[in-house]
């Protein structure tokens, strides 16, 4: 069982918006602004798309955005494209014995 | 161009050891922290540990699940980070990635990743 909870799957039609949640605890997501999101296509290495809750690395389309409320972080993809179909993972720093934890991953299907 | 190349994976028997390498180019390895992350077949990502830059003492932190069995080190002069894995178990079978840390003192985000190297633990 992962330390961060994500839905196993989400889906949306081309052009729609979707949101993926990532729920942790007050010693992790809720206590620090160190939440990141990664996109992973099959057979490929993960790619950073959001860091420090809501910052986008250079080159990441602005349709990807991140936010946080309490112990839950969210990734929103506005106007999803076919190439956005992938697995998405959140991660967070925590003050527990394991200082960095990932969510279990969410498969985004573009209909 | 920043690039990380993972190597050293393969088939290993249970109980044996294996050392993975992560060769960096396009940036100065010594200026950053380096992390190791693995992904078992069909499963999610698991952070294993990281090593701080020399600026922050080159010290390490590990996930509770591998602490005492896995050791991360670095040779900044050669631009290589290592993951030493001892007493391997079948459940260590996974693709192992190195990843550059975007923040040095604590593991936070990982802005560049290696391509991964597959470790299979089986008799």
pLDDT digits (tens, 9 = 90+) for B65-108: 999 999 999 999 999 999 999 999 999 999 999 999 987 888 89
Amino acid B105: pLDDT? 86
Burial label, B94 (beta-carbon count in 10 A; 0-12, 13-18, 19+):
buried
- With tokens 């991953």, the residue in question is A105
| Cα(B109)–Cα(B46) distance, integer angstroms | 13
For the stretch A25-43, pLDDT in tens is 999 999 999 999 999 999 9
Amino acid B103: pLDDT? 79
Cα A21 to Cα A5, A25, A102, B43: the distances in Å are 8, 13, 13, 19
The residues of A whose Cβ lies within 8 A of any Cβ of B are 2, 34, 36, 38, 40, 45-48, 51-52, 57, 89, 91, 93, 97-105
Please indicate if any CB of chain A lies within 8 Å of the CB of B101: no
Mutation target to probe the A interface, by most A beta carbons within 10 A, among B109, B111, B113, B118 is B109
Contact: B114, A45; criterion CB under 8 Å: yes
- Tokens representing residue A39 in the block: 């996109």
| Cα(B80)–Cα(B74) distance, integer angstroms | 6
Contact: A45, B97; criterion CB under 8 Å: yes
Chain A residue numbers with beta carbons less than 8 Å from the beta carbon of B107 are: 93, 99-100
Please indicate if any CB of chain A lies within 8 Å of the CB of B106: yes
CB burial string A28-51: b at 16+ within 10 A, e below: bbbebebbbbbbbeeeebbbbbbb
Contact: A105, B45; criterion CB under 8 Å: yes
B110 to chain A, minimum CA–CA distance in Å?
Answer: 7
Nearest-by-CA chain A residue for B39: A45
Judged by DSSP in three states, B68 sits in coil
Contact: A46, B102; criterion CB under 8 Å: no
Which one, of B116, B121, B100, lies nearest residue B8 by Cα? B116
A111 to chain B, minimum CA–CA distance in Å?
Answer: 22
For the stretch A70-90, pLDDT in tens is 999 999 999 999 999 999 999
For the stretch A94-108, pLDDT in tens is 998 899 999 999 999
Which one, of B35, B44, B57, lies nearest residue B113 by Cα? B35
Amino acid A2: pLDDT? 64
| Cα(A60)–Cα(A83) distance, integer angstroms | 13
* Of B44, B64, B109, Cβ closest to residue A48: B109
| Cα(A82)–Cα(B64) distance, integer angstroms | 38
Amino acid B76: pLDDT? 95
Q: Has residue A53 got a pLDDT over 80?
A: yes
């Amino acid at each position: 069982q992962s330390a961060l909870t994500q839905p196993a799957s989400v889906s949306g039609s081309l052009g729609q918006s979707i949101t993926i949640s990532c729920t942790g605890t007050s010693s992790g997501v809720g206590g620090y602004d160190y939440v990141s999101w990664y996109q992973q296509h099959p057979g490929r290495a993960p790619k950073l798309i959001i860091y420090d809750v809501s910052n986008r690395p250079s080159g990441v389309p602005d349709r990807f955005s991140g936010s946080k409320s309490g112990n839950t972080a969210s990734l929103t993809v506005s106007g999803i494209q076919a190439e956005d179909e992938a697995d998405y993972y959140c991660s967070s720093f925590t003050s527990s014995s394991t200082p960095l934890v990932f969510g279990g991953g969410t498969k985004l299907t573009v209909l | 161009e920043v690039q990380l190349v993972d190597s050293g994976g393969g088939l290993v028997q249970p109980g044996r050891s294996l050392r993975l390498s992560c060769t960096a180019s396009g940036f100065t390895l010594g200026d950053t922290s380096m992390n190791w992350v693995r992904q078992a077949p069909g499963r999610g990502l698991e952070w294993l540990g990281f090593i701080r830059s020399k600026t922050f003492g080159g010290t390490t932190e590990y996930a509770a699940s591998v602490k005492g069995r896995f050791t991360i080190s670095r040779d900044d002069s050669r631009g290589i980070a290592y993951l030493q894995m001892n007493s391997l178990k079948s459940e260590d079978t996974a693709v192992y990635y190195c990843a550059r840390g975007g923040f040095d003192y604590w593991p936070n985000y990982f802005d560049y990743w290696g391509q991964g190297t597959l470790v299979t633990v089986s008799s």
